[in-house]
Structure 1
Amino acid sequence: MTCINGAEAEYIAVSDRAMQYGDGCFSTILVEQGKPRLWPLHQARFEKTLAALSIPMPDWLTVQQQVERIAANFASKGVVKLLISRGSGGRGYSPTGCESPSVVISHSPFPNHYHGWQQVGIELGVCQQALGLSPMLAGFKHLNRLEQVLLKQEIESCNWADAVVCDVLGQVVETSASNIFWRKGNTIFTPDLSMAGVCGVMRSHVMTLIKSTPYCLEIVKSPLDALLCADEVFITNALMALVPINQINEHSFTERMAFNELNKRLYSC
């Protein structure tokens, strides 16, 4: 079932600016036992993104009710995707005349391979392609994901599960579909996303959880070498939660101290 502007439908207008320009944003939401996880964080990110893009806010109570109605169809785990575009209207790039945003809610099965990733960890490659610097859009999960499409092609051609992605300055940003954390001693590091990357909902949640652990957090601009010298590495997104990294290229990571500590607290607040 797909819900478009409150009604069941399968198609959106060709004139919608989501199709024409990628003019909007989206989020993928984990559903467990019929309930959407971390909804307040998803809504907060939407509000920040929509404000930055000058797209009018929807009626959040109605949107939440629609998300919960679709989520209720999952007895165990599932995925709900919420997409908000500027809607139809305007001429060329100008958004003038766009008055009614489009709200699209769809669902899909939970990616079952994430269960194995969570339990045993994965290996990462390192992408040769680099993310461009985009301070106007950095951090937002906007609809233009062409960089990620190209990165995914590279990852699949190398038979990697995922890969570390740097920006054009050689600074670690994220993986193709997740945020990245690493620990050295008593400090957990995660990249500064002010110039590139996506500020994930699980990233925000983990950053809050770190405050209740013995570890301190630093948001950094670091080259790949700093990541490869870590004691442990893990990645996060809203669907797979936390996944430990066993190896990046020839560099192995065997410790899971911070991973285990944070995994215990994952949905405790």
Structure 2
Amino acid sequence: MFWLNGKLADSISLSDRSFQYGDGCFTTMLTRGGRIQYWPRHIERMNACLDLLAIPRPDWNQVEHWLQQAIKPDTKAGLKLHISRGEGGRGYSPTQVASPNVTISDFIYPSHYEQWVSGGLELGICRTRLGHNPLLAGHKHNNRLEQVLAKAELDDGGNADGVVLDICDYVVETTMANLFWVKDATLFTPDLRNAGVNGVMRRIVLEQVQTLPLEASIGDFKLEELLSADEVFVSNSVLGVAPITRIGSTSFDIGKITKRIQEMIDS
């Protein structure tokens, strides 16, 4: 069961354009103590994608009310908010489409995330490459086929997550998180102008770094530069910040910068 425009449902129309074309966007949120973490940031990132796609923004006060129905008040959990353009239209044309559909689903906080946050996780290296799409890069739109292919590859290899490169062999992200690494008092993270998702937690980490004696470098980096790092970590809104202890055959210690950023995020 999920919530469709505020009402419990177990199905959605086959003519919904998210099913037909991936025509919409979504965000995944952590809830804690009955509250959505960083809710204004999620609104901001959804608005940016909705505006790009020319999908009308919803009444966010109403959406927040609907989300409250799905929140588990006494535990840490997750919510997925998904907005499609709606139903109808002729072929790809977005004209003659009904109003947007807002769907909400809840999920149990993954139990292994706590272990990842404290003890780190290991990454594979995906063979699947991300294509360049500067128009949609950075946004979490509903067409995630490249990520599906990359994750299927990791599942076959027995890895929980993996580093994903683009078609020019630059590091972009993992299949589920943004990547950061520290080398010589500089924090590095890939530029997402051509591919990848600019996550809510990524933005928060970059803001927090400004308070540390650490330079930040956003750019195009090859895998070799990542593997030469002093410490590596990943971030997403549900996981938070988690250290990386291995990428392929290269091992990393859990570094003091990673621990410091974790403390700042959790405070």
Cα deviation, 1:172-218, whole Å, max 9, x if unaligned, reads: 00001110000011110110001000111111111111111121211
| Paired AA for residue 189 in structure 2 | T
Alignment of 1:131-170 (within 5 A): 131-170=130-169
Q: Which residue of 2 aligns with 1:106?
A: 105
Tell me if the contact between 2:243 and 2:254 (Cα under 8 Å) persists in the aligned partners: no
Tell me if the contact between 2:244 and 2:254 (Cα under 8 Å) persists in the aligned partners: no
Q: Which residue of 1 aligns with 2:30?
A: 30
| Paired AA for residue 15 in structure 2 | S
Tell me if the contact between 1:29 and 1:80 (Cα under 8 Å) persists in the aligned partners: yes
CA distance, structure 1, for counterparts of residue 213 and residue 98 of structure 2: 49
Q: Which runs of 5+ in 2 are unaligned?
A: none
SS in 2 for 1:195: coil
Q: Which residue of 1 aligns with 2:8?
A: 8
SS in 1 for 2:96: coil
Identity of aligned residues (%): 45
| Paired AA for residue 43 in structure 1 | I
| Paired AA for residue 153 in structure 1 | A
CA drift at 1:68: 2.5
CA drift at 1:74: 3.7
Q: 2:115 matched to 1:116?
A: yes
CA drift at 1:126: 0.6
CA distance, structure 1, for counterparts of residue 250 and residue 188 of structure 2: 18
Alignment of 1:72-221 (within 5 A): 73-221=72-220
Q: Which residue of 1 aligns with 2:261?
A: 262
Q: Which residue of 2 aligns with 1:239?
A: 238
| Paired AA for residue 139 in structure 1 | G
CA drift at 1:69: 3.0
CA distance, structure 2, for counterparts of residue 23 and residue 36 of structure 1: 25
TM-score for both structures, normalised by structure 2: 0.97
TM-score for both structures, normalised by structure 1: 0.97
CA drift at 1:267: 4.3
- Structure 1 consecutive aligned stretches of length 4 or more whose deviation exceeds 3 Å: none
Q: Which residue of 2 aligns with 1:44?
A: 44
SS in 2 for 1:46: helix
Q: Which runs of 5+ in 1 are unaligned?
A: none
Cα deviation, 1:132-185, whole Å, max 9, x if unaligned, reads: 111111111011111111111110111112110000000000001110000011
Q: Which residue of 1 aligns with 2:18?
A: 18
SS in 2 for 1:265: helix
Alignment of 1:58-73 (within 5 A): 58-71=58-71, 73=72
CA distance, structure 2, for counterparts of residue 214 and residue 76 of structure 1: 35
CA drift at 1:255: 4.2
Question: Could you say what the CA RMSD is over the residues aligned between the two structures, in angstroms?
Answer: 1.1
CA distance, structure 2, for counterparts of residue 84 and residue 21 of structure 1: 13
How many residues get paired?
267
Q: Which residue of 2 aligns with 1:224?
A: 223
| Paired AA for residue 127 in structure 1 | C
